[in-house]
Amino acid sequence: MAPRKELSWKIFPWAALAVTLLLCGCAAAPPAPPVAPLPPPRPRFTPQEVALDRALGRFYGAPYRFGGTTPAGVDCSGLVLAVYQQLGMALPRTAADQFTAGQPVPLNRLRFGDVVFFNRFCQVNKSAPYLAGVLPPASLRQICHNGIYLGGGRFMHASNRGVKVSRLDAEVWRRSYAGARRYLLPRAPGSP
């Protein structure tokens, strides 16, 4: 009997290995890792938007100058005016008057080239935030600043530090946001 016991201990590891391999071979393949969805296609710029993008590039970094409308010096409404003039469009001169022109656009429908407007809170909050609580509400409804929406929550505007890009979700812009207007021609049907 001793030889049989020896033989079973020699066969057992091989049999266990064979059973393990057989069971693993029958198991289902591990699930494939989830595939990230493709980002939505980027909207193609219309010829008007391409021209606007080029015009904005000429003004980026320009110094601030009250009443200015050139890359040598520009203020906020002067930037909007000059950029749109390069597209052959005539807009009013001041931010308040520009706010009355164009088509209103809800915040969740902004697209490249829309002009975003801000009330007086943006000026008060930067210089003396405590004054925002003492100014009459009518004063805070006055449109006093604007910029051109770039997409992705960013806009270009002429600040006292020159023409730069800021985020709409920054507290000062979020709290002083007054609305947006669209001056560009509509895109083809089905475009965002």
- The residues pairing with 148 across neighbouring beta strands, listed in sequence order, are 115, 156
Nearest alpha carbon to residue 176 among 134, 109, 129? 129
Options 24, 76, 122, 144, the catalytic residue: 76
Helical packing angle, 76-85 and 47-59, nearest 10°: 140
Residue type, position 118, single letter:
F
- Could you confirm whether 24 is annotated as catalytic? no
- Could you confirm whether 26 is annotated as catalytic? no
Q: How far is residue 83's CA from residue 59's CA, in Å, rounded to a whole number?
A: 8
Q: How far is residue 59's CA from residue 45's CA, in Å, rounded to a whole number?
A: 19
Options 26, 122, 144, 157, the catalytic residue: 157
- Could you confirm whether 157 is annotated as catalytic? yes
Burial 90-105 (b: 16+ CB within 10 A, else e): ebeebbeebbeebeeb
Q: How far is residue 49's CA from residue 7's CA, in Å, rounded to a whole number?
A: 84
Can you say how many angstroms the Cα of residue 101 is from the centroid of all Cα atoms in its chain?
A: 24
Provide the annotated active-site residues. 76, 145, 157
